[in-house]
Amino acid sequence: MEIKPAKAMHHLLRVVDDWRSEYHSKQNGDIVFQNKELKSNIFFTSASLHTIAKHSTGFENIPLVLMKPDEVWMRWEDTTSQEVVLRNYIKFGKLSYVVQTRNGVVTDAFAVSNTAANNFRKGVIA
C-alpha cells in the first residue's frame, strides 16, 4: 500500500486552500495572482491544480514566481493568428522554477536545473 502520493496530494490541496485565503479568489475557486510590474493577472484554476499534481515538486513557489519572477518570456502560440499568448515565468535559484501560462492561465509549473531553464527562455523577454 503506497501512502506517499496521497500525502503529497493532501499537502498540495492544503497549500492551495491557503492561497485562496491569502490571494484574491474568484467565486469559481480560481486564484488570481497579480504581477504588478507587468500589470497582469494570472489565474490558477482547477485544471492548473490537476496538471501540477502530477509533478508537484516545488509547487509552493508558484505565487513568488508569478508575482516576482527573475525573467518572463513571452511569445505567440501561433505567429500567424497572434491570438494566444504563452508566457514562461522563471525564478532562478539552486533549482530554477518555471511557471507556464497560456492567455494568463497557469498551464504547468515545475522545477528544472539551471541549465534546463534555458530551454524555456524563448520569445521576447518582458
Assigned C-alpha cell, 9: 496530494
Residue 106 has pLDDT above 90, yes or no: yes
The residues that bridge with 112 in the sheet, in sequence order, are 96
pLDDT at 5: 56
SS3 assignment, position 81: coil
Q: Span 52-75, mean pLDDT? A: 93
Torsion angle of C-alpha atoms 40, 41, 47, 50, degrees rounded to 10 = 90
Residue 1 has pLDDT above 70, yes or no: no
Q: What's the CA gap between 33 and 23, in Å, rounded?
A: 7
Q: For the beta carbon of residue 28, count every other beta carbon within 10 angstroms.
A: 8
pLDDT at 46: 94
Residue range 80-96, pLDDT digits in tens: 999 999 999 999 999 99
Rounded to two decimals, what is the model's pTM?
0.90
Q: Span 98-124, mean pLDDT? A: 95
